Amino acid sequence: MAGGGGCVTLRGAQIRDLLDSKHNVLFDCDGVIWNGETAVTGAPEVVSLLKQRGKRVFFVTNNCTRPRENYVQKFSRLGFADVAEEEIFSSAYCSAAYLRDVARLQGKVYVIGCDGVMKELRDAGVPVAEEEDAEPGASIYTCPLDPDVKAVLVGYDENFTFMKLAKACCYLRSSECLFLATDPDPWHPLRGGRVTPGSGSLTAALETASSRKATVIGKPSRFMFNCIASQFGLDPARSLMIGDRLETDVLFGSNCGLTTVLTLTGVSTLQEALAFRDSQEPQQKHCAPDYVMESVADFLQALEE
């Protein structure tokens, strides 16, 4: 694990020197290159110019609500040219890869999650325990449990219910049943100042109820970087991680030995970054970025020269 960063504000020649020293650029998506259905100003141009300069660009997101093919459509819709499915690494895709390639699951996975997670699991050939509609008056005492379930995966689920939580607890009574979470994000910002609970809050409920800890697949876990590195041979020393959330994006970069940049177009603030930098707690220091910039658009001048 790398040490905490210095929160240096990137300007002018510093930006050029940083880009010259890196071959791989990893972007978070929400809050970095777009907010909802609006691209961050200058972000499509930055991505295109990085590729024209010979940089390899990847997108690493904890948002598990879409399969990768739908992300390709969103990139195109928001004006990002020539983004390939192979460049996109979501927590849903990486969770499916983990179950298939690392765990080599022999059985089914019970999923608390959305369609994006289900689609990636099926595309990877991972068997999913089908969730049947509960009969009126059904309870955990009478509902059927699938004896072939060997893993529980928790992701973002707008239809989360007590019954889903109870079933997952029953499956996790077996020590041989894997317990995975797509990501630890506790909440996500919405338009109008509202928030929605994230995968991390649902995982926390199941951790409390089952007295077990989940293995997290998405950021800040190293597995997402290992997924990319295994396919593209990335050198951490020549890789840059750009994100908006200190406890996931920046910590992910720190965990993987990447240089980190915090953009201020999303969740975390400069004040929070400085507080982590000055903290006496080692875990908080690891959440401090190496560099800070207002927006990815700050890369434009250096890339256009």
Which DSSP string do the residues of 201-268 spell out, in sequence order?
HHHHHHHHHHT--PEE-STTSTHHHHHHHHHH---GGGEEEEES-IIIIIHHHHHHT-EEEEESSSS-
Integer angstrom CA distances of residue 260 from 124, 178, 205, 225, 229? 31, 32, 31, 14, 17
CATH of domain 8-62+220-304: 3.40.50.1000
Name the binding residues for Mg(2+).
28, 30, 244
pTM for this entry: 0.94
What pLDDT does residue 132 have? 72
The reply to whether 30 belongs to the active site is yes
Q: Distance between CA atoms of 124 and 122, rounded to whole angstroms?
A: 5
Give the C-alpha distances (Å, rounded to integers) separating 161 from 134, 165, 183, 197, 285.
11, 6, 19, 13, 37
The pLDDT of residue 19: 96
Q: What pLDDT sits at residue 138?
A: 78
Binding annotation for substrate: 188, 219
Residue 28 annotated as catalytic: yes
- For the chain, 305 residues long, the average pLDDT of each consecutive 10-residue run is 79 94 98 96 97 97 95 97 96 97 97 96 96 74 94 97 96 98 92 91 98 98 96 97 97 97 97 96 94 97 89
Catalytic residue among 20, 30, 123, 249: 30
Is the CATH number 3.50.50.100 carried by domain 105-216? no
Given this model, what pLDDT does residue 129 score?
Answer: 97
pLDDT of residue 2: 52
Binding positions are: 28, 30, 188, 219, 244
In the prediction, which pLDDT does 3 show?
56
Domain ranges of the chain: 8-62+220-304, 105-216
Residues β-bridged to residue 179? 152
- The per-residue pLDDT for 161 is 93
Catalytic residue among 28, 157, 249, 290: 28
**Res 82: pLDDT:** 87
Same fold, 8-62+220-304 and 105-216: yes
